[in-house]
Amino acid sequence: MKKIFLSACALAVLVACKSGGKQDSGVTPSKTIKVGLAQKLDSGVSGEATFTEKDGKVTFTATMSGLKPGIHAIHIHEKADCSTNDASSAGGHWNPLKKKHGKWGEGEYHKGDIGNFPADQDGNGTITMTTSEWCIGCGDPAKDIVGKGLIVHEKADDFVTQPTGDAGGRIACAGIIK
């Protein structure tokens, strides 16, 4: 009986060590990156964006203030570099699959072509979207948003003009970094 008890204890210790001492709850932990949007071109725009990955999908939410009322574009750009006053240091739209610029989910579009959002009469705007086409820190160059830049534009994206959507100047920028 002692032998069986000791064997059972040894097995329990091995299982605990293999699982890191944690029970498998079947729930995938989420990953989150929060970034602050800083004004560019003396626009007065500021805000915060959050990217949260859970169960293979990334939910993106950005909240901004200081915008001119109307429609504005927001895109993910190639680099997490906001060092220049016009944010040109962030490069072009993130486009790892070499597609034409367009509207997210319709025909061809860049992985960074998030789209448009409205700013109210007080200059406040919010946008939210969820996608399985992005990941946070997974290392897949066609999906990983870490190391990219988030840019808010002064105008709406027309979803047609190549390669930018004629969305105007870059009025806020944030590097998507951990």
Residue 138 sits in a domain whose CATH number is 2.60.40.200
The alpha carbon torsion through 147, 32, 45, 151 (nearest 10 deg) reads 30
Q: What is the pTM of this model?
A: 0.84
Q: Which of 170, 173, 153 is nearest to 74 (CA)?
A: 153
pLDDT score, position 13: 38
Is residue 26 situated within a structural domain? no
pLDDT score, position 109: 96
Domain count, the chain: 1
Is residue 97 situated within a structural domain? yes
pLDDT score, position 92: 96
Average pLDDT along the chain, 178 residues, taken 10 residues at a time: 42 39 58 97 97 97 98 98 98 96 95 97 98 97 98 98 96 96
pLDDT score, position 30: 87
Q: Would you give the distance in Å from CA 157 to the centre of its chain?
A: 18
Structural domain of residue 136, as residue ranges?
A: 31-176
